[in-house]
């Protein structure tokens, strides 16, 4: 508690909401012990979301839990991370839990004590997704001990950078006793945030509390117990159960009654107005407010003097910058005059003290009303004065840009410089804001011939920001403008625009357009150096659209051009593309030669020379992974990741992260593989490329299958989403998505669906797959065919696996073919032959360092070896395989171990039918065994009864029982 500055939470009693308060109490009680990671409070404006959040904060503080509160603002949607900055301002300036993280975050977020943020360009802001992880790490540290509540209000108004960070925290809950509470209006919530919270509710990470109107009794007794019952009922009906509306009606009624008493000396109450609602007709409603509330709020402003009203307008317009000293400077009032105005506004409860020394209006709805009713010219004057005042105080450009945007409409060099600097400061951490400020700068910049090159440079920068922020189509349109208007002396800008446009088209899945654009540029006789850059980009279309053999000549020309120029970077890039292409096509000898040459050049170049070669580094890493050179693959992926992060090339990170994740699957380091795949998913969703997201999800599904218990629902869900996101595409990434759907379906016990998906991935002859994957896919087909009783097809797939593996000569693929043959031998009752084949597979995998496949081969070999008469050896193989699987976090193989455990090792094990249950299924099973009903379990675990029913059906299937009594008996034995 000492680490948080004193807060402004209200201590007024909460009216109603007993059920909702009970849920929040349970969240506090179970913080860090199975409570939801996110609480989502929804409802219309004025319904009581903020008051419920305040109550939650008060109850949490009473229990010693640290609470940070922030609020998004309607008119500050381009101030990056605004609600988080507001929340972190609550941290005590002298006692931070994590000074190292706070120092890094202070570059983009408001630091302790509410000081204005001063973003800096550099490593801390180059990777906004790294910032997300840093924020999560800070929250985890702050939650150590008694726990942490981060409460963010009005998130339907959150800026894009905050929405992205929220999405990350919802999909990757902070470990430990930490809960994120958000309050929002449903209909005004951005689609992406609503979807993220809905996904979280589906996975039980989010507890949603939808606030309905208050009941008449609790509303009247809690908010206006002194009103006559008949009048209270009238006002309640007019207010429709909305507390804000009801209170405004009550206030209007009391003021009207007081005025009439003074005028007539009467002692009996009079009606509030001729209209039962107390509203005056013709006043525009605001947002989601009930009709008439705006009029009631406006009535509160009527008694103000002109100076008081102007002060209120300044506070409404300034918002986050409405500290008294700034407001006084903008109004131009003397100290005494201003203090009198502010005192009058405070006395009428129109403004209140806010965080960071600010003065805020009583409710966001009131701010909206005042802001929108302020004349446009008056708002412009306030913003202009605010920009001058804040500049005088040394505020950073990001803080000034909002006021500059809304007060400058003609060419102003100083305003233009502020906007450009604000864009530079937000380029890495908040690219949507960066693109916005550049757009404003372009509107100010005169559209003259002499300014043309400067305009195109800004347009190129804005297109790049839009691309990494997810605005791929808008980015492409802007790049087409740059390409079509670039003059003869702007070849550098034109080539940069062409390359970025082609890359953008690729991310949109528009490969023919990317190829056509690049070939057109080549026909224009570019300079030799530009020719190399364009050739590298053109070669990158393989194997996504054009096959590598179709691009082989282009790669050779690019390589020759680079060598003729003495361009080592271009040469290394072409060699890396060639290594990847040949590895994909299965020409192992050529791939090895190209990979060795590429590595020799790339390893000798300094990082600064490789900024433009992050994608070739990724392709080299993938080529080495295909070739089984896992150490080299990870080394090159790591180097590419470091350079891409420092240089802000966010769109290349998924390629590099997934290469590293793939290596860690093969080498059985599944925990880190999951983290890498999750980070790649964050970035892919942020970029907005459907095809890239599909590829990422396919790889995520592979990681999930390997790391989770057999039949994991998340693995299948990721594979299904990958296939859906890919759509009708038919390329490498599409085949990967269908392969992983088949893999997930097979491990989930659905061989028929697996067969359909696997054959959809590669076709009947598997030619739709890269050769290095064909033996592994054939192994899955053999398993699925044997499950369905189709021995003939299984034999055909096993023979195909052998031929493909022999042609490649790679150990992991040879081991896969041996496992396929061993399955058939076991089916035919030849345990000796199966043991021999699987033992060879173990040796092949061990030689390659493919620990995951080594462990799988050992676990399959153990029962076959025991059945062939070598029980002790089989037990030793099982122990070794189980050790490797458990150490590597391979949940799939741990589950396999339970089914292949030799008889001699079974006496100490629990009922094997329960070992495949997920943690949630085991929790549900335990409560069901105690006799709780589905509804009781749902209440206990924050689930819907339908979700509990689904979990129980899976439990019954896996445990091979059909009644709760049988389940209870099985649980008791375990």
Least confident of 34-48, 269-283, 332-346, 355-369: 269-283
Is the predicted pLDDT of residue 278 greater than 50, yes or no?
A: no
Contacts of 353 (CB under 8 A, 6+ apart): 8, 359, 360
Mean of per-residue pLDDT scores for the chain: 84
Distance in angstroms between the alpha carbons of the first and the last residue of the chain: 43
Is the predicted pLDDT of residue 274 greater than 70, yes or no?
A: no
More confident residue, 617 or 97: 617
Dihedral sign from CA coordinates of 521, 523, 526, 530: positive
pLDDT at 367: 86
- Asked if 747 contacts 892 with a C-beta cutoff of 8 angstroms, the reply is yes
**CB atoms < 10 A from the CB of 908, how many?**
6
Using alpha carbons only, what angle is made at residue 942 by residues 937 and 945, rounded to the nearest 5 degrees? 50
- pTM value is 0.76
- Compute φ and ψ for 895, nearest 5 degrees: -65, -40
Which residue is associated with the tokens 């600064």?
Answer: 608
Using alpha carbons only, what angle is made at residue 551 by residues 550 and 556, rounded to the nearest 5 degrees? 130
Tokens of 735: 């085949």
Confidence band of 373 (pLDDT split at 50, 70, 90): confident
Q: Distance from CA of residue 343 to its chain's centroid?
A: 45
- Asked if 812 contacts 849 with a C-beta cutoff of 8 angstroms, the reply is no
Which residue is associated with the tokens 């492409």?
Answer: 476
pLDDT at 464: 92
- Asked if 91 contacts 68 with a C-beta cutoff of 8 angstroms, the reply is yes
Is the predicted pLDDT of residue 562 greater than 50, yes or no?
A: yes
User: For the purposes of burial, counting CB atoms within 10 Å of the CB of 779, is it exposed (0-12), middle (13-18) or buried (19 or more)?
Assistant: buried
- C-alpha distances (whole Å) from 162 to each of 81, 87, 658 are 5, 12, 26
Q: What confidence tens digit (pLDDT) does each residue in 387-434 have?
A: 998 999 888 898 899 999 999 989 999 999 999 999 998 888 889 999
- Compute φ and ψ for 360, nearest 5 degrees: -125, 155
Q: What is the length of the chain?
A: 974
Is the predicted pLDDT of residue 908 greater than 50, yes or no?
A: no
Burial 647-661, CB ≥16 within 10 A → b, else e: bbbbbbbbbbbbbbb
- C-alpha distances (whole Å) from 705 to each of 155, 348, 698, 743 are 35, 62, 11, 8
Tokens of 808: 């490649």
pLDDT at 973: 65
User: For the purposes of burial, counting CB atoms within 10 Å of the CB of 481, is it exposed (0-12), middle (13-18) or buried (19 or more)?
Assistant: middle
SS3 content of the chain, % helix, strand, coil (to 5): 70, 5, 25
Question: What average pLDDT does the segment 831-853 reach?
Answer: 96
User: What's the rounded Cα separation, in Å, for the pair 369 and 601?
Assistant: 64
User: What's the rounded Cα separation, in Å, for the pair 618 and 638?
Assistant: 9
3-state DSSP assignment of residue 931: coil
pLDDT at 283: 42
Strand 38-42 with 66-71, pairing:
unpaired
pLDDT at 955: 79
User: What's the rounded Cα separation, in Å, for the pair 249 and 256?
Assistant: 11
pLDDT at 214: 85
Contacts of 866 (CB under 8 A, 6+ apart): 873, 874, 875, 902, 903
**CB atoms < 10 A from the CB of 843, how many?**
15
pLDDT at 940: 75
Tokens of 152: 């963010």
User: What's the rounded Cα separation, in Å, for the pair 974 and 969?
Assistant: 9
User: In terms of Cα–Cα distance, which of 865, 869, 867 is closest to 879?
Assistant: 865
3-state DSSP assignment of residue 178: strand
Least confident of 109-113, 353-357, 912-916, 930-934: 109-113
**CB atoms < 10 A from the CB of 447, how many?**
9
User: What's the rounded Cα separation, in Å, for the pair 851 and 845?
Assistant: 7
Residue 110 CB-half CA count within 13 A: 26
User: What's the rounded Cα separation, in Å, for the pair 15 and 242?
Assistant: 12
Is the predicted pLDDT of residue 124 greater than 60, yes or no?
A: no
Q: What confidence tens digit (pLDDT) does each residue in 332-344 have?
A: 888 888 889 899 9
Tokens of 125: 């802001």
pLDDT at 268: 40
Which residue is associated with the tokens 């042609």?
Answer: 807
User: What's the rounded Cα separation, in Å, for the pair 386 and 378?
Assistant: 12
Q: What confidence tens digit (pLDDT) does each residue in 737-790 have?
A: 899 999 999 998 899 999 999 998 888 878 778 788 889 999 999 999 999 899
Which residue is associated with the tokens 């096993």?
Answer: 798
Question: What average pLDDT does the segment 517-545 reach?
Answer: 87
Strand 38-42 with 351-353, pairing:
unpaired
Tokens of 446: 């005169």
Confidence band of 631 (pLDDT split at 50, 70, 90): very high
| 931, 207, 706, 953: CA torsion to nearest 10 | 30
- Asked if 452 contacts 427 with a C-beta cutoff of 8 angstroms, the reply is no
Question: What average pLDDT does the segment 233-244 reach?
Answer: 82
- Asked if 592 contacts 610 with a C-beta cutoff of 8 angstroms, the reply is no
């Amino acid at each position: 508690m000492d680490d948080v500055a004193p807060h402004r939470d209200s201590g007024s009693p909460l009216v109603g909401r007993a059920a909702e308060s009970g849920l929040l109490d349970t969240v506090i009680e179970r913080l860090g012990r199975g409570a939801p990671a996110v609480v989502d409070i929804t409802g219309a404006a004025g319904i009581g979301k903020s008051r419920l959040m305040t109550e939650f904060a008060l109850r949490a503080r009473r229990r010693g839990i640290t609470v940070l509160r922030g609020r998004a603002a309607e008119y500050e949607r381009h101030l990056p991370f605004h609600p988080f900055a507001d929340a972190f301002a609550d941290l005590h300036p002298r006692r931070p839990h994590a000074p190292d993280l706070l120092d890094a975050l202070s570059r983009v977020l408001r630091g302790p004590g509410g000081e204005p943020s001063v973003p800096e360009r550099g490593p801390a802001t180059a990777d906004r997704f790294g910032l997300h992880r840093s924020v999560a790490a800070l929250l985890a540290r702050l939650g150590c001990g008694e726990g942490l509540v981060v409460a963010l209000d009005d998130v339907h108004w959150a800026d894009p950078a905050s929405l992205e960070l929220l999405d990350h925290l919802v999909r990757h809950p902070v470990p430990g006793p930490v809960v994120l509470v958000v309050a929002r209006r449903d209909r005004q919530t951005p689609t992406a945030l609503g979807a993220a919270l809905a996904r979280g509710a589906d996975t039980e990470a989010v507890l949603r509390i939808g606030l309905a109107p208050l009941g008449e009794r609790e509303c009247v007794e809690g908010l206006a117990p002194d009103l006559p019952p008949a009048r209270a009922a009238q006002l309640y009906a007019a207010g429709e159960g909305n507390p804000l509306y009801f209170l405004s009606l009550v206030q209007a009624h009391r003021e009207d009654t007081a005025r009439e008493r003074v005028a007539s000396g009467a002692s009996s109450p009079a009606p509030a107005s001729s209209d039962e609602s107390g509203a005056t007709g013709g006043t525009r409603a605001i947002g989601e407010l009930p009709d008439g509330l705006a009029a009631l709020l406006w009535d509160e402003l009527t008694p103000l003097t002109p100076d008081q009203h102007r002060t209120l307008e300044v506070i409404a317009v300034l918002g986050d910058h409405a500290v008294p000293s700034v407001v006084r400077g903008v109004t131009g009032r003397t100290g005494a005059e201003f203090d009198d105005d502010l005192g009058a506004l405070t006395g009428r409860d129109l403004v209140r003290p806010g965080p960071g020394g600010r003065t805020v209006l009583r409710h966001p709805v009131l701010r909206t009303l005042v802001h929108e009713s302020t004349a446009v010219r008056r708002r412009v004057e306030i913003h202009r004065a605010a920009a001058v005042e804040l500049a005088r105080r040394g505020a950073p450009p990001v803080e000034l840009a909002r006021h500059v945007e809304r007060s400058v409409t003609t060419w102003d060099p100083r305003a233009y410089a502020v906007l450009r600097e604000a864009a530079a400061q937000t380029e890495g951490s908040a690219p949507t804001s960066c693109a916005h400020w550049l757009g404003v700068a372009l509107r100010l910049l005169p559209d003259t011939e002499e300014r043309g090159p400067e305009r195109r440079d800004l347009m190129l920068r804005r297109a790049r920001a839009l691309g990494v922020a997810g605005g791929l189509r808008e980015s492409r349109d802007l790049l087409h403008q740059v390409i079509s208007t670039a003059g003869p002396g702007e070849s550098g800008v034109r080539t940069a625009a062409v390359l970025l446009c082609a890359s953008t088209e690729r991310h949109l899945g528009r490969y023919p357009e990317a190829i056509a654009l690049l070939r057109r540029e080549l026909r224009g006789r570019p300079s030799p150096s530009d020719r190399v850059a364009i050739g590298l980009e053109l070669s990158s279309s393989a194997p996504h659209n054009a096959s590598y053999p179709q691009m082989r000549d282009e790669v050779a020309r690019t390589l020759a051009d680079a060598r003729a120029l003495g361009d080592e970077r271009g040469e290394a890039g072409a060699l890396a593309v060639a290594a990847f292409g040949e590895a994909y096509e299965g020409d192992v000898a050529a791939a090895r030669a190209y990979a060795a040459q590429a590595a020799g050049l790339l390893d000798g170049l300094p990082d600064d020379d490789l900024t433009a070669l992050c994608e070739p580094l990724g392709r080299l890493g993938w080529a080495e992974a295909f070739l089984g050179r896992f150490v080299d693959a990870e080394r090159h992926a790591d180097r590419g990741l470091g350079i891409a992060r420092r240089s802000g090339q966010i769109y290349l990170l998924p390629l590099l992260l997934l290469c590293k994740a793939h290596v860690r699957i093969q080498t059985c380091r599944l925990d880190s593989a999951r983290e890498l795949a999750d980070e790649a998913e964050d970035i892919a969703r942020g970029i907005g490329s459907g095809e890239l997201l599909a590829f990422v999800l396919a790889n995520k599904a592979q990681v999930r299958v390997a790391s989770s218990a057999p039949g994991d629902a998340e693995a299948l869900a990721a594979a299904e989403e990958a296939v859906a996101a890919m759509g009708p595409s038919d390329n490498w990434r599409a085949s990967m998505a269908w392969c992983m759907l088949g893999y997930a379906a097979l491990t989930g016990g659905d061989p028929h669906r697996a067969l359909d998906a696997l054959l959809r991935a590669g076709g009947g002859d598997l030619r739709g797959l890269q050769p290095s994957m064909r033996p592994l896919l054939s192994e899955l087909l053999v398993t699925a065919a044997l499950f369905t009783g189709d021995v003939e097809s299984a034999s055909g797939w096993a023979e195909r696996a052998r031929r493909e593996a022999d042609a490649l000569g790679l150990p992991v693929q040879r081991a896969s073919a041996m496992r396929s043959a061993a399955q058939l031998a076991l089916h035919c009752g030849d345990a000796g032959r199966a043991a021999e084949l699987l033992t060879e597979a173990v040796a092949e995998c061990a030689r390659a360092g493919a620990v995951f496949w080594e462990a799988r081969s050992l676990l399959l070999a153990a029962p076959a070896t025991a059945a062939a008469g070598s029980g002790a050896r089989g037990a030793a193989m099982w122990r070794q395989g189980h050790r490797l699987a458990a150490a590597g976090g391979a949940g799939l193989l741990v589950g396999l171990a339970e089914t292949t455990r030799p008889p001699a090792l079974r006496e100490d094990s629990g009922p094997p039918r329960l070992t495949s249950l997920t943690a949630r299924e085991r929790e549900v099973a335990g409560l069901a065994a105690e006799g709780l009903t589905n509804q009781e379990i749902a209440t206990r675990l924050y689930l819907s009864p339908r979700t509990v029913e689904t979990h129980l059906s899976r439990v019954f299937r896996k445990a091979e029982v059909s009644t709760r009594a049988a389940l209870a008996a099985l649980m008791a034995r375990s």
